Amino acid sequence: MELRPVDVFLLIGALFAWSISLFLPAFASGDSIPPPLGGAVLLFGILFGWFVHGWAAYANLFFVYAAWRLCLGKTPRLSVVLMLAFAASLPLFSGMLDKSGGRSGAVASWGWGAFMWLWSLALLAGAAAARRRIIGARGALALGLLMLSSGMAASALHAHQWRAAGIEDRRMLLAPGMIYTSNELCSVALTWPAPSTTPGGEAVVLDVDAQLLHAPPRGPSLDLPGGFTEAHADGAAWRAYPGAEGDLKVRQAAQPGALLLQVKATGDGAVIRLLQGQPRRLLYEQPVKSVAAGRSRSFCPVAGRALHGGLRSDYGEALLRAMGQPPRFKAGVALAHAEVARERCPIGIVEGHRIRNLRSLDGREVILAGSMERMAGLCSANYVALAGGPTLPGNGRLRAVVHVLDRRTLRPLAMFDGVATCPPSVCAPGREATVDAVRLEGERVLVETSRGEYAAALKRF
């Protein structure tokens, strides 16, 4: 069939729009930063689209075939119909796969990549219609004007949402390349507090409405910073020490005027307050609001909001900053005293308590997470040393890890770590070695076991 200028014009426009769409962000799920480009969506969509109802990705196969037929001067029919049919299934798409192969959050925002892709399909369908003389120059002009007006409308919608969005929503939902979001925008600003004047590591008492931490199906939930749960809101005070290889929480009696973390439900969300002193003085306040997030609801604002609900680290860091809680281990500092930790301070189990993993250590109640929980406790005059038995990463190599805590407060002071050739006396087949003592020597520790000794050096973060 003879090529017509309208056919060629629309075909070139379709191929150009389709090519551009490969290099523009297609959509965002709110937990994928940066949003995936159209080319990545095309590749993974063809391979795995069936798994997440992404049938629209297969429209690209028929697009390429129909474009090739048009270039040969033929008139595609069935391929164009199938292309449009698969594209019409786009609302069924449930989200990209994450790195572990599971489904990530539902699509929250659509970008210019998806916009250009849809128009490339429309232009190709128009080219096929022009080839069959269903439309002519006027039809092509109308199609072009419709494309221009839709682009202007999309830009206006983006500008409207951008003005109404806060910093969090602009970063998560209206990232560069996104046109609009179908999620409800957050009308509450995230408060970033000034640094606290309270001493680092001060004990905090929790007063929490438990229903805020347990989301109903598709409902919002709050995650407290530091791994706290409603079980910790038992009237006691807690000191939380985040560590490099595990967190430590110390439970103690609450003192009058102690730091109070209060989380209370409101009509459409919650309010989080930090109070101190007698009478109570407000140090920090953050309201949160329940908003629609895809197929569920989420609390906002949170700088790292996950669309399936909950709060992420950025919000937790703001709250910990207001609480004066210490950051993770600072640069390693040599121990002030050279001592030998030989007194047994075993980690015991506290019976009859609803707090999960509550343990006893040197007469205090603690929660040990990570590698600390499986270690032997040994005490000296000023320190508590938590030393694990030698672990073998393989190839006859030994890894020694020792955590040193201040005995009076159980505040972590230093971590010692070392990987070396395993002494035969320690790692040879036979009875497992037990830790008898830890020699603390400033920037070095020497672990004495029933089968020999090994060293570890101060770890600097």
Instruction: Judge whether 441 and 448 are in contact, CB under 8 Å.
Output: no
Question: CA-CA distances (angstroms) from residue 59 to 122, 179, 262?
Answer: 12, 22, 52
> Which phi-psi region, left, alpha or beta, contains residue 281 (left: φ > 0; alpha: ψ -120 to 50)?
beta
pLDDT for res 112:
94
Q: What's the rounded Cα separation, in Å, for the pair 288 and 268?
A: 8
Question: CA-CA distances (angstroms) from residue 345 to 19, 55, 342, 367, 393?
Answer: 67, 61, 9, 15, 27
Within a 10 A sphere around the Cβ of 131, how many other Cβ atoms? 24
Report the chain (461 residues): mean pLDDT per 10 consecutive residues: 72 93 86 77 83 85 93 89 92 67 68 94 92 85 90 94 82 86 81 67 82 74 74 82 74 87 86 87 86 75 48 58 61 81 88 79 86 85 84 57 89 80 68 83 85 79 60
Instruction: Judge whether 206 and 228 are in contact, CB under 8 Å.
Output: yes
| First and final C-alpha spacing in the chain | 72
Element (H, E) at 68: helix 59-71
Helices and strands in the chain, H and E counts: 9, 23
Amino acid identity, residue 290? S
Q: What's the rounded Cα separation, in Å, for the pair 10 and 324?
A: 63
pLDDT for res 415:
86
Element (H, E) at 145: helix 137-164
DSSP 241-307: E--SS--EEEEEPPPTT-EEEEEEEETTEEEEEEEETTTTEEEEEEEEEEEEETTEEEEE--TT--T
Instruction: Judge whether 276 and 260 are in contact, CB under 8 Å.
Output: yes
Q: What are phi and psi of 254, to 5 degrees?
A: -75, 135
For 448, the token pair is 């004495």
Contacts of residues 452-455 at CB distance under 8 Å and 24 or more positions apart, as own/partner, are 452/423, 452/425, 452/426, 453/423, 453/426, 454/390, 454/398, 454/400, 454/418, 454/420, 454/422, 454/423, 454/426, 455/400, 455/418, 455/420
pLDDT for res 350:
82
Q: What's the rounded Cα separation, in Å, for the pair 450 and 427?
A: 11
DSSP 85-139: HHHTTGGG----B-TTSSB-PPP-EEEHHHHHHHHHHHHHHHHHHHHTTSS-HHH
- β-strand partners of 289: 269, 300
